[in-house]
Amino acid sequence: MRKLLIAIVLLLMLIGSFYAALPVIAEYSVRQVLTDHQLNASFDLKRPNLDRIEISQLTLKKETPDNPFTLTAESISIRFNPWHFFSTQRIETLEIKALTLALKLDLTPDDQPSTQDEERSQLSFPPLPSYLFNQLPAEAITLPDVAINIDIVGSPLIRKLAFSGSINTHKDRLALKVNQIAKAPATQLYLTLNNQDQGQLSIAVNQNTVVQSNFNLSADTQQLDVQSQNRLQLEQLKALLEQPLIAEIAAPLDTNVLPDLSGTVTIQGNSLIPLSTPPLMADHRYQITSAATVQNLIPEINRLNVQQDSTLRSENGNFILNIQQLSATGESLNTGGNPAVSAESIRLDLQQPIQLTSSLDQLSQSGIQSIHWPDTELQLVIQPVTIKTQGQPNTLIKTPPVNIKLSALMLAENSVKAELSADNIAVHSGPLLLPLINLHNRAVITPDKITNRFTLGLHDPLLDSEIKITGTSQTEPKTNHSTASWKTSLPLTGIEKLALRFVPQLPPELVFTDGELQHRGWLDQNNSGVALRFLNKVRNTSLSYDQTHLYDINGGSETVKSHRGKLSDTGQLKIAFIDAGVPLENFSGSYRFEQSSTGKRQLQLDSSHVDLLGGTITTLPVTINPDDPVFDSAIAVTGIDLQQLMALEQQQGLTGSGTLNGQMPVSFKQGQLSITDGQINSTPEGGWIRFDPPPAFLAMTQTTPALGIVFDAMRNMKYQSLGIELDYQPDGTALLKTHLKGHNPDWNKSQPVDLTINIEENIPKLLQALQFTDKLTETLEKRYR
């Protein structure tokens, strides 16, 4: 019994001695381990109680070239249960009031990695939170003040990283909080982990979450499987990008030009990261969904809503992005200015999924420029577009969905080919409906130039066939310089039916029966303004207006407008035949209109010619101010055949021979035309007039014997002079004074005849005044009846 008691006492003394020597043993063991790892340590260890160890100051230094560091900890408190520590080698709590780590990290790549480096890349333990929790020496660890400073060597981006925060663990949970990051003072980071290999990571700016990630981890000997769901809040993205640290990691970005963003981007899927090969060989599979709203992207669109759904895969060093759905809607489109273009919304939709591919090596070398972009089909849906132009009726454009095909898209060169097509575009100008438009356009777009080749088809029930307008345009965005050219051919047969829709004042008697209008146009626009040039040609055109018919009309005009606003328009016109009661043939004339940049206008009418009754009518050149048209000119009449003139009357028994010449002074003032002292006279050689009265005329001599004398004299009149004096008043009244001198060799011994007849008539057209013979016969009848 006594021996037993002695043994128990000795055992208790041994245990007590071991417990009493525990701090010494622990200190010795720790120093030995640190020495083995080439670490210099200094610390002051105390044991105020049996279940607590305190270290007032701990300093660890590694001064070897391989990533040297210095770790300093203050006020370390360790609590433990001796029996529990002996049985589990775990303490209860570890509290460190302040911990500072200064680390120099060398990322300079070796030209030839050693076998030792390759062995280091292979982890001997699974990098899982559950494993790390099992390795922790304490049930709870508290580090309320942690500061880490890392100097990075060999990094092309960031050279220094410093941050501070806190770390807390309790049994199966770890919480890491980064309160302060150098060069990103408004950014916070939160990380939580549990022993079920689950965690959550949040990045916030000014306490507002930007990125939140929930993840699950699993691993085997070959790879680490990371399953995650990540959510990006776009409202806070701009604030994050404004942090100076981001400018060091990524390319400098002027956040002042960033639009206002809102919405979310969700990325969920998994990554398989190999544990024995470089992480770049990892396989990734993610679904990316986003719903974003962009404001103030461009002044013309108030808000842009973007939605997309895609999958991202990276396997065997290849990158594959499948965009399954993409839609962008612009709200409240309004260009402002004059003209102002507006629409409630405009929407662009991806029609078929597309796949973008590249390799990770190419991505690392060339970025997104290495991505192969396939042909892409899009559809543009535009709500009715309103165009408001000052002083003009509003234009409303209703278009069906516009199909767009993108091809040859080269991200490296920022170039793309685009095809655009839309049919049956309805355009309303005020209450008027223009012909429906079919649009087909091919464009080549580069940063320096945008080139278009387009075809416009116009069709309307009132048109016999479709009108096609083809052309090209070119724009240089950097210089704000644009050019364009186009051409079209317009059949004129029946065109008046369509023209009446737009010009109700057009006379309904006007009818086009044949012909074609050929048009070509050019445009040049720069910062000084818009320059235009139009060429119009009328070919083989015929038309009628009431009883007047024009045949075989040919002509052309050229209109030129300079960048400064100067305008000139020149034209020529030829008409083979005009049936206006008298036959007018081979009309030709030309004009020139000019308008200065200040608005001053001038119209010049060149000399014109027309053949009439075997002779010619010629007008003199005249210059007119269109704003106040006042001019004096003259019309010359030469070579009129009296026989053809009399034939117009179709008077039975009336013939004649001779030539008439003359001129008519013309004046135009206050919108009224007048002719004063117009003269038409026979040539000096004179001529003859023969009138063989029909029986109806001879019957009149029974009641008016004097009329028989006139008839007898006119049966074979040889005249020496025949003259007509003409005055045309602004009210339309024509005063004709006809004077005839001659004799009849077969009557009354060739007695001289001197006959003067005055005629007053309201004649709408000057040429009708030349139809004087009917008036002559009627006047003679009245005088001698």
**Residue 519: per-residue pLDDT:** 96
The DSSP call for residue 13 is H
Whether 734 contacts 724, CB under 8 Å: no
3 state SS of 511: strand
Compute the distance between CA of residue 75 and CA of residue 310 in angstroms, rounded to an integer.
Answer: 52
The DSSP call for residue 372 is B
Q: How many CA atoms lie within 13 A of 10 on its CB side?
A: 6
3-state secondary structure 584-604: EEEEEEEEEEEECCCCCEEEE
Positions of E strands within 527-643: 529-545, 548-561, 567-579, 583-595, 601-605, 608-612, 615-619, 622-624, 631-641
**Residue 11: per-residue pLDDT:** 39
Q: H-type helices in 57-166, by residue range?
A: 82-88, 115-120, 129-135
**Residue 762: per-residue pLDDT:** 66
Whether 354 contacts 376, CB under 8 Å: yes
Q: Between β-strands 138-153 and 91-106, what pairing exists: parallel, antiparallel or unpaired?
A: parallel
Q: How many CA atoms lie within 13 A of 681 on its CB side?
A: 10
**Residue 771: per-residue pLDDT:** 39
Whether 568 contacts 537, CB under 8 Å: no
The DSSP call for residue 640 is E
Query: Which tokens in the block code for residue 707?
Result: 């009329």
Neighbouring residues of 189: CB distance < 8 A, sequence distance ≥ 6: 163, 165, 176, 177, 178, 181, 201, 202, 203, 204
Nearest one of 581, 658, 654, 580 to 614, comparing CA atoms: 658
Compute the distance between CA of residue 358 and CA of residue 354 in angstroms, rounded to an integer.
Answer: 14
- What separation, in Å, do the N-terminal and C-terminal C-alpha atoms of the chain show? 188
Q: How many CA atoms lie within 13 A of 517 on its CB side?
A: 14
Please report where in the chains the tokens 């290495």 appear, as a residue: 370
339 cis-preceded (ω within 30 degrees of 0): yes
Integer CA distances (angstroms), 393 to 264, 339, 387, 430, in order:
43, 11, 9, 5
Q: How many CA atoms lie within 13 A of 194 on its CB side?
A: 7
Q: Which amino acid is at 328?
A: A
Neighbouring residues of 7: CB distance < 8 A, sequence distance ≥ 6: none
Residues (pLDDT < 70) of the chain are 1-39, 47, 50, 85-86, 89, 109-126, 155-157, 249-257, 277-280, 367, 649-650, 761-785
Estimate to the nearest angstrom the gap between the alpha carbon of 506 and the chain centroid. Answer: 37
Integer CA distances (angstroms), 419 to 451, 471, 490, in order:
12, 15, 26
Q: Is the Cα torsion angle 10, 11, 15, 21 positive or negative in sign?
A: positive
Q: Is the Cα torsion angle 443, 482, 433, 541 positive or negative in sign?
A: negative
Compute the distance between CA of residue 60 and CA of residue 38 in angstroms, rounded to an integer.
Answer: 10
**Residue 769: per-residue pLDDT:** 40
Whether 489 contacts 541, CB under 8 Å: no
Nearest one of 265, 255, 348 to 304, comparing CA atoms: 348
Residue 640's CB: how many other CB atoms inside 10 A?
Answer: 21
Compute the distance between CA of residue 432 and CA of residue 502 in angstroms, rounded to an integer.
Answer: 7
3-state secondary structure 226-270: EEEEEEEEHHHHHHHHCCHHHHHHCCCCCHHHCCEEEEEEEEEEE
- DSSP lists the bridge partners of residue 644 as none
Compute the distance between CA of residue 485 and CA of residue 33 in angstroms, rounded to an integer.
Answer: 85
- DSSP lists the bridge partners of residue 386 as 342, 396
Angle CA(722)–CA(726)–CA(731) in degrees, nearest 5? Answer: 160
Please report where in the chains the tokens 């005063």 appear, as a residue: 735
Enter the pTM of the model. 0.71
**Residue 758: per-residue pLDDT:** 80
Task: Indicate the domain borders of the chain.
Answer: 625-785
Torsion of Cα atoms, 111 then 115 then 118 then 122, to 10°: -170
Q: Between β-strands 615-619 and 631-641, what pairing exists: parallel, antiparallel or unpaired?
A: antiparallel
* Phi and psi at residue 197, to the nearest 5°: 60, 40
Whether 245 contacts 153, CB under 8 Å: no
Query: Which tokens in the block code for residue 21?
Result: 């020597």
User: Using DSSP, how many helices (H) and how many strands (E) does the chain show?
Assistant: 13, 44
Integer CA distances (angstroms), 566 to 389, 563, 600, in order:
21, 7, 10
